[in-house]
Amino acid sequence: MTTVIEARNLSKAYGATHALDGVSFSIESGRIVGMIGPNGAGKTTALKGILGLSDFAGELTVLGRNPRTERDRLMQDVCFIADVAVLPKWIRVRNALDYVEGVHPRFDRARAETFLSRTDIRQGSRVRELSKGMVTQLHLALILAIDARLLVLDEPTLGLDLLYRRQFYDTLLNDYFDKERTILVTTHQVEEIEHLLTDVIFLASGHIVLSTTVDAIPDRYLQLTVGPDGVSRARELHPFYEREVFGRTALFYEGRSARELEPLGEVRTPSIADLFVAKIQSLDARRTPAGLGSGAAPGPAQSAPGASS
Partner 1 sequence: MSSESAEVRAAAAPQTATRTTATRPMLTLIKREFWEHAALWVAPLVVTAALIIGAIFGRAYGPGTMPVSLGDVPATPQGLRAISTTVLVMFSGGSQYVVMSIVLWFYATACLYNERRDRSILFWKSMPVSDAKTVISKFLMALAVVPLYVYVVTLLTTLVASGIIAIPRFSGPGGLSLWDGGAWVRAEAYSFVWLVLAVLWYAPLTAYLLLVSAWARRNVQLWALSPLIAIIVERIAFGTHYLSTWILYRLGPGWQSQSEQWLERLFAGPFYYTSGGSSSPVQLFAGMQPLKGFGNIDLWIGLAVAVAFLYAAVRVRRYRDDT
Q: Which residues bind partner 1 (CB under 8 A)?
A: 48, 51-55, 71-76, 78-82, 85-92, 95, 98-108, 139, 147, 180
The per-residue DSSP string of 27-93 comes to EETT-EEEEE--TTSSHHHHHHHHTTSS--EEEEEETTB-TTT-HHHHTTTEEEE--GGGS-TT-BH
CA–CA–CA angle 212, 216, 218 (5° rounding): 125
Mode of pairing for the β-strands spanning 32-36 and 182-186:
parallel
Q: Cβ 86 to partner 1, closest distance in Å? A: 4
- Please, which residue, 159 or 218, has the CB nearer to partner 1? 159
Burial label for 15, CB within 10 Å (0-12, 13-18, 19+), is exposed
Q: Cβ 151 to partner 1, closest distance in Å? A: 10
The span from the CA of 187 to the CA of 192, in Å, is 9
Task: Measure CA of the first residue to CA of the last residue in the chain; give whole Å.
Answer: 36
- Residue count (the chain): 309
- Please, which residue, 104 or 256, has the CB nearer to partner 1? 104
Q: Cβ 65 to partner 1, closest distance in Å? A: 12
Q: Cβ 39 to partner 1, closest distance in Å? A: 16
- Please, which residue, 135 or 278, has the CB nearer to partner 1? 135
- Please, which residue, 126 or 188, has the CB nearer to partner 1? 126
Q: Cβ 172 to partner 1, closest distance in Å? A: 16
- Please, which residue, 206 or 265, has the CB nearer to partner 1? 206
